[in-house]
Structure 1
Amino acid sequence: MARSSTTRLLIAASSAALALCLGVTGCSRTINGTPTTSGSTSADTVAGLPASDGPSGLKPGAQDAGLPVEGGTDGKVDTLATNAVADVQRYWRSAYPETFGGGDFRPIERLVSYDSGGGGRRVCGQDTSGLVNAFYCPAEDTIAWDRGELLPGLRNTFGAMAPVTVLAHETGHAVQYRAGLVDERTPTLVSEQQADCFTGAFFRHVAEGSAEHVRVSTGSGLNKVLGVLGYIRDEPGRTGFSDARAHGSAFDRVSAFQYGFSDGPKRCTEMTEESVTERTTQFRFWKEAQETDLPIDGESVEQVERSLREVFVDTGVAPPEITTEQRPCPGTETTEPASYCAETNTISLNLSELRTAATPPGNGDRESGYGDFAAYAQLASRYALAVQEAAGLTLTGDTAGLRTACLVGAWSGLIVEDPIGRRNPVGELRIAPGDLDEGIASLLSDNGLIAADAEGEQVPAGFARVEAFRVGFRQGTAPCASEYDD
C-alpha cells in the first residue's frame, strides 16, 4: 500500500523477475500416484492437498458472474477478471465472519476496467491513461485493473490464474480496511504481505475445488501463481523493507502466500510489523561488493566449497571432493551443472553449464539461468546429498529432493548478513539482496537441482520445493531430517 490513496501493484522487471517469467512457463513433470507421507510432511502433497497437474483458469460451463464493471467489455480479460472478483468476494462472504469473529463482508462498491493505452478515465482522483497497474482505492471502495496491458501480459506469461492472483491481492486490501487491520500508520510492507497471505488463503479455497468460476492445479498451476508473486516483487537492493512503497522480495511474498495457503486467513491477521520485520529478506545494498555477482571460476568455487564445509562442519560429514573434471561414476545418473557420486564422495562440476546457470536471462533467452546464487545453490544441493549419504539416508525420490532443498535453505540462512544484525552468519561468504529471489526462480523452474535427488529428478510441486527451502532457511538443518524422513 502506497502512502497515497490507493494500493498498487508494483512490477519489478529486473533480470531475476524475468527469470521467473521464463522459469515457470513450462509445466513440471506429470504427477501420478497416491500421496505418501514423510514424517509430518508429505512429499506428494501441497499443504495437505494431493499434488497434481491439471487445467487452471476458468471452469468450462460456469455461468458468467455478470458483475457490473465500469468500462468493462465482453473480452476474455474482463470476463476472467469479473468472474475472479466474484469468486474472491464469495470466498470472503464465508471466510470473513469466521476469521474476524463475526460481521459480514461488504461487497466492493465499484469495479473499473480500463485500457492504459486508451484515453483514460478518472479513478480515485487520477487519470488511468498510461497507468499499467491494478489497485484498490479505499476512499472510493474501488478495485480497478488495466485490461489493455497489465492483465493480458501477465496472463500470456503466467497463464489464466495470473490476473486472478492480482485481483485476489487487491481484494485482500479491501478486507484489511473493512476489518480495521490497517491505517495510515501501517507499514506498507506489512499491509502488502498480509494481502499476499490473504491471496494464499483464497487460493487454498480454489485448489480445493470450492470456487464457482476458477480452478487451479496444485502442480504447475500453483507454480505459475508463485511466479506471479516473484514477478511483482520489489527491485532487489534498491528498495529497503522500511521504504514507503515496499511490497517485498520474491522470497518474502511467496512465503506470505504460503502461510495463507497452508494455515488459512486467521494466520494472516497475526502478521505484525514485528513479525514481518523479523523474517524480511528485503534490504538495500549496504556494501559495494553486493552489487557484483560472484564469478564462475575456480577461485569462487573454492569460496563456496569453504562456506559449505563451515556450515555443515557440525554434521561430522567427510567433505566431498569438488572437481571440475568429469569423472565417471558407475550406476549413477550424471546431472548438470553439478553431479554427486556417492561411491567416491565426489562432486563433478561442469563450469560451462554452471556459467549458463549463473547468467540472468535477457531478450527472452530461455537457455540462460537465474544468477550467481541460483548457480552455486545447485552446487550446494549436491553437497547436501553428501550430507545425506553420510547420515545413511536415501538419495533418490521426492523425499530426498525435499531434504536437499531444506539443507540448501539452511546453508543460505547461515550466510545471510543483514544491516540490523539479527543473525550471526557463518564464515566469510555472504548472500546479497536478490540472491534468495534467484533461488525462488530456480526452484520454480522445471530443470533445477536445488530440490532434486541424486538423479536430478525434482520434487513435482514447486510449492513443496519452495516450502522445504523456506523451512531450512528459517529453522536450520534440524527439521530437514525430521520433516523429510525416509
Structure 2
Amino acid sequence: MSIAPHRALKALTGLLCAVLLLAGCTMTVQGKGEYAEGGVKKNAPPSELNIQNSDGSETDQQVANALDDAFTFWKKQMPKVFGKEFQEPAGGIYSYTPEQSEPIPCFEGDNSSAAQNAFYCSAEDIIAFDRNFMAELSDTYGPFLVALVMSHEVGHLVQSQTSGLDDKAIALETQADCYAGAFSQSAQKGTKYYDLTSEDLDAVLGGYLLFRDQPGESADDPSSHGSGFDRVAAFQEGFYEGAGYCKDAFGPDREYTEFAYNENEQKTGGNLSYEEIVGYADTEMNAFGDAVASDEGKSWEEVPAEPADGAVTCDGKKQDDQVYYCKAESTVLYDDSGAPATASEKYGDFAVMELFALAYSDAILNVTGSKTKGADRLTAQLCLSGVYAGDAFEKTVEGTPTAGGLKISPGDLDEAIALLIGIGEDDQVINTYKVDAFDRINAFREGFNSGREDGLTASAC
C-alpha cells in the first residue's frame, strides 16, 4: 500500500518461495514435490499426437496428453460457443530446447530468446514449447501445470480462429487464462488424461503466479499479460462460468487491477515497513468495521490491535492463530514475531493488512450478529477482507485515500493472493477449516468485486 498521496503496500520478490515458506509447506521447490501425481490419470494410453523435434521424453508425452485433452475440449466447445468447428494447428506441435542448433519456429536469431517459454505463433499456426522448462514446471508444481500452460496457448489458437478480440495484450492474455480455467473445470470432472483434485488446483495457483507481470507495469503496456490477481481472477472466472462466459467478458470495458508505480512507489517498491503497516492497521480496520456495521444498522465499538507477549492467548487460553480476534477481550491480538512479520518480509505490506482484515472481519461478523462457524465463517471473513481490498482499490482509482489515509499500490493484490495460498491449517497462521486455497481466493475475489461496486458493505458476504 501507499500513504495517500505519499504511502505504499508492495513488491513480491521470490514470491513462490515465500508462499511455501510462510505455510511451512512440504512441497519441494526443486525435484519432484508432493504434487508429483498432479491429477494425471494412471494407466491412460499415451496420446499419439505428433510432437515435432521430440526427444521421446516423458515431458513431450505430458504435453501431447495435455494438448490431446485440450483439443478434445475445444472440438466440443467451439461449435457451442462460436458456431464453428475447431481446427488443430496446421503447423503442428514443436518441442525445442534453447541449446539446439536448429532454428526455433517464429524466432529469429539467438535461440536463447525462446528459453523458458511456450507459445502459439499465428504466423506459422504452430504451438511450440521449451521442453526443459515444461519439465521444471512439472517437477515443481505438478504435471497439471503443464496442461494449464498448454491450454492457455490453445486459448490463443482459439482466438486466432474466432478473431474475437482486438490486439490489446492484456485482454488476449487474460481471456486465454479464462479459457484455461474452463478447460481445467472439465479436467476436474475427468478427461481422458486428467482427474483434477483441489490439491492440484492449489498447486496450479502457486505456479500461476510465476507468469504474472512484475508490480508497477501498466495494463496499457503492449506486452502486458496481467497482474497475478488479474490472471488468477480470469482463470477462476473460466473455471466457474465456462468458455461461453470467456468469449464475451474481455472486451474494451473490462477493468484490470494492474497499474504503474507513482514516483514514491518506484523508490519503495510500494511497500511500507512492517512497523508502519502495523501502525496503520488499527485505524484502518476500525474504520472498516465501523462502516460495515453502520451499513448493517449496528453500532461499532473500537477494537484495538495489540501485540501478544509470545503466543496469542485469549481469555487465558492459548490460540493457534497468530492474528486472532479475541471476543472475550474485544481485541485483535497478533504474534509480533510470527506470521505478520514473516508476511511483511516475504510478500509485502498488504499481506499483513490482509491478515488483520481477516481478524477484524471476525469481529465485524460478531457485531452484525452472524452465527456462522468453521468453514462458513472463514469464507465470510475472506469475503469481507476482499470487500475492504475492493473498496480501497476503487478509492485509489478515484484518487481518494481510505479512512486511514492509505491507498493501494501496484502488486498489493498479488500479495493478498500469495498470502491466501500460503496460509494453511497446519502452519498455525489461521485455521483454514480445510477450505482450500482455490476457494479462499474465490471468496476474497467475490468480496473484492462487491467492494469495488458497492463500497464497505457485508451484503455480498
The TM tier, using the shorter chain, reads 0.7 to 0.9
Q: Distance in 2 between matches of 1:25 and 1:322?
A: 26
Say which is worse superposed, 280-289 or 172-181, in terms of deviation.
Answer: 280-289
> What's the secondary structure of 1:312's corresponding residue?
helix
Q: Displacement, 1:15?
A: 2.8
Question: Superposed, which structure 2 residues align to 1:139-150 within 5 Å?
Answer: 139-148=123-132, 150=133
Among residues 100, 103, 126, which one is paired with 1:121 in the alignment? Answer: 103
Q: Displacement, 1:475?
A: 0.3
Determine if contact 2:118/2:128 at 8 Å carries over to the other structure. yes
Q: Gaps (5+ residues) in structure 1?
A: 1-11, 29-52, 361-369
Deviations 1:441-474 (A, max 9, x none): 111124389x98xx62345221111111011111
Indicate whether 1:356 and 2:355 are aligned: no
1:296 match: 274
1:160 match: 143
2:154 match: 171
Q: Displacement, 1:412?
A: 1.2
2:248 match: 270
Determine if contact 1:27/1:446 at 8 Å carries over to the other structure. no
Q: Displacement, 1:56?
A: 2.8
Determine if contact 2:188/2:194 at 8 Å carries over to the other structure. no
> What's the secondary structure of 2:220's corresponding residue?
coil
Among residues 170, 194, 208, which one is paired with 1:214 in the alignment? Answer: 194
Indicate whether 1:340 and 2:317 are aligned: no
Question: Superposed, which structure 2 residues align to 1:208-357 within 5 Å?
Answer: 208-209=189-190, 211-217=191-197, 219-237=198-216, 239-276=217-254, 278=255, 280-289=256-265, 291-297=269-275, 300-314=277-291, 315=293, 316-326=299-309, 328-330=313-315, 334-353=319-338, 354-357=340-343
> What's the secondary structure of 1:214's corresponding residue?
coil
Among residues 407, 411, 424, which one is paired with 1:430 in the alignment? Answer: 407
Deviations 1:190-236 (A, max 9, x none): 00000000000000110011x1112211x211112222222100001
Say which is worse superposed, 74-83 or 423-432, in terms of deviation.
Answer: 423-432
Q: Could you tell me which amino acid in structure 1 is paired with residue 195 of structure 2?
A: R
RMSD: 3.0
Q: Distance in 2 between matches of 1:25 and 1:105?
A: 44
Q: Gaps (5+ residues) in structure 2?
A: 1-10, 28-34, 294-298
Among residues 438, 448, 453, which one is paired with 1:463 in the alignment? Answer: 438
Deviations 1:224-275 (A, max 9, x none): 22222221000011x1000010000010000001111111101111123433
* Normalised TM-score (structure 2): 0.85
Determine if contact 1:406/1:480 at 8 Å carries over to the other structure. no
Deviations 1:60-81 (A, max 9, x none): 1111111111111221111101
* Normalised TM-score (structure 1): 0.81
Larger % of helix: which? 2
Say which is worse superposed, 78-87 or 473-482, in terms of deviation.
Answer: 473-482
Say which is worse superposed, 200-209 or 305-314, in terms of deviation.
Answer: 305-314
Q: Distance in 2 between matches of 1:25 and 1:259?
A: 29
Deviations 1:387-433 (A, max 9, x none): 11112224631111111111111111222267753877544112211
Q: Distance in 2 between matches of 1:72 and 1:25?
A: 38
Q: Could you tell me which amino acid in structure 1 is paired with residue 313 of structure 2?
A: P
Question: Superposed, which structure 2 residues align to 1:401-440 within 5 Å?
Answer: 401-416=378-393, 421=398, 425-440=402-417
Q: Distance in 2 between matches of 1:87 and 1:470?
A: 29
> What's the secondary structure of 1:414's corresponding residue?
helix
Q: Could you tell me which amino acid in structure 1 is paired with residue 438 of structure 2?
A: F
Determine if contact 1:310/1:427 at 8 Å carries over to the other structure. yes
Among residues 79, 82, 86, which one is paired with 2:64 in the alignment? Answer: 82
Question: Superposed, which structure 2 residues align to 1:467-482 within 5 Å?
Answer: 467-476=442-451
Determine if contact 1:415/1:427 at 8 Å carries over to the other structure. no
Q: Distance in 2 between matches of 1:54 and 1:123?
A: 31
Determine if contact 1:416/1:423 at 8 Å carries over to the other structure. no
Identity %: 29
1:16 match: 15
Determine if contact 1:471/1:479 at 8 Å carries over to the other structure. no
